[in-house]
Amino acid sequence: MGGSSLAQVYNQIGNESPDIEDFSVFKSAFNVTQQLIDDGKILSGHDRSDGGLIVTLLEMAFAGNCGIKVDLPDSDTICALFNEEAGLVLEVDAAGVASIIQSYKDVGVSISHIGSVISNDSIEVKIGETVVIKGKMTEYRDIWEATSFQLERLQRNPECVAQEEVGLKHRKTPAWTLTYEPTYTSEEVMTKENKPKVAILRQEGSNGDREMLAAFFAAGFETWDVTVSDLVGENVTLDQFRGLVFVGGFSYADVLDSGKGWAGVIKFNEQVYQQFQSFKARKDTFSLGVCNGCQLMALLGWIPNGETGLSEDKQPRLLENDSGRFESRFSSVQIQKSPAIMFKGMEGSSLGIWVAHGEGRFHFPDSSVYEQTKKDQLISVCYVNDDNEVTQAYPFNPNGSPDGIAGLCSKDGRHLAMMPHPERCFTTWQWPWMPSEWSDKYEVGPWLKMFQNAREFCEKTTN
């Protein structure tokens, strides 16, 4: 128990610290574990080196939002629960327990079946015949999270912290739904010689360009990496492109209200600004702005009234998150019925998506513009809670946008601006979690469809 977390809690150092006496056993355990992971036989796992077995078990239950029932052999309670000797706790399917135990035993690694996951909100741990821990998982989790929430109150809006703390007890598996079948782009499309060209535009500090290039490439585009300085220096012009994408990621280090520096370079250079205006006016083009790019499109007036434009005092813009801090989360959104060409056939779907922004709250200075935006169905994507209900509640809505607004489009649907990052989850492996019925069925991420929709729009329109 020397040097353990428990010893530190009691201001002790201890004598004998955890060690590994036989590295060949450790190596064997590692290799078997890696093989089982490759075979898809391990559902989750955690080592016990930071807190001991009980901390490991509780953390797994907290993260999995489930209960556990554990039976340990009769031994010293403190040592059994808190020693930090090298060891793993693995969650596996019940049908595979015997074969997995045999896999470790075959290479001389000690392994025991210690319990099971249960669906209700209960934690029970027995050592021998004695129940040493029994209670509700959610109550233990509240205690576990209490220190973090106290720290959070010093860093962000206390009202948002309180919402998240109270809501934690009621979290459940998101009820995501898909109204379409995600599929790879066909080989015929991918091998075409004359693909539509899309300019992936970045500015100083942008860091979302590579994911965006990959997403559009996977959808069948000829993707071009273009910087604003390329346009200023007249090395590239926009008239050759069918798509224009404004990427996210700390443009101008996220100062000057994030997108303002970017918008200033465009607006105050006449030849560049005219290129943008001409591109926007063409009926065979589309544009997408994500995160900083969303802020830019609002400042340029491309959404929601891109065709006619709005005066600066009426133009919607993006303000600081209600939480008062940068938010990086895997949130839930729902695709709304709208003219957005990139969301064609996706309406009604709810799915996970990455968010990463400090200023993502949509603000409408003029209420009449807001009402008209809703009437014209230009709100294309909204944040939702675990029940797929559009929400302003934190943390489901990470920024406090009214009516859960996560994106707006133009009236003709060609121009789309959204704060979340679809390019960061267009493959399945970019998702931190996905319903098993999706991961078992689909080989490609659901968000790829919006990029494929853009290509199909280009194929169906001409100059």
Q: Catalytic residue numbers?
A: 291, 421, 423
Own/partner pairs, 32-41, CB within 8 angstroms, 24+ separation: 32/103, 32/104, 32/107, 32/109, 33/88, 33/90, 35/103, 36/90, 36/100, 36/103, 41/92, 41/93, 41/96, 41/100
DSSP conformation class of 108: T
User: Could you tell me if 348 and 377 are in contact, meaning their C-beta atoms sit under 8 angstroms apart?
Assistant: no
Alpha-carbon gap, residue 348 to 319, rounded angstroms: 27
User: Could you tell me if 398 and 360 are in contact, meaning their C-beta atoms sit under 8 angstroms apart?
Assistant: yes
Neighbours of 182 (CB within 10 A): 19
Alpha-carbon gap, residue 261 to 22, rounded angstroms: 59
Q: Where are the alpha helices (DSSP H) in 186-269?
A: 187-190, 209-218, 228-232, 259-267
Nearest to 48 by CA among 18, 11, 69, 71: 18
Strand partners, 115: 70
| Residues in contact with 36: Cβ distance below 8 Å, sequence separation at least 6, in sequence order | 42, 90, 100, 103
H/E element, 7 = helix 5-9
Nearest to 281 by CA among 264, 302, 265: 302
DSSP secondary structure string for all residues of 58-88: HHHHHHHT-EEEEEE-SS-HHHHHH---S-E
Q: Which is it for the CA torsion 247, 249, 252, 255, positive or negative?
A: positive
Q: 3-state SS string over 370-418?
A: HHHHHHCCCEEEEEECCCCCECCCCCCCCCCCHHHEEEEECCCCCEEEE
Nearest to 458 by CA among 219, 297, 292, 263: 219
| Residues in contact with 453: Cβ distance below 8 Å, sequence separation at least 6, in sequence order | 341, 342, 343, 344, 345, 346
The region that residue 178 occupies, defined by phi over 0 for left and psi between -120 and 50 for alpha, beta otherwise, is beta
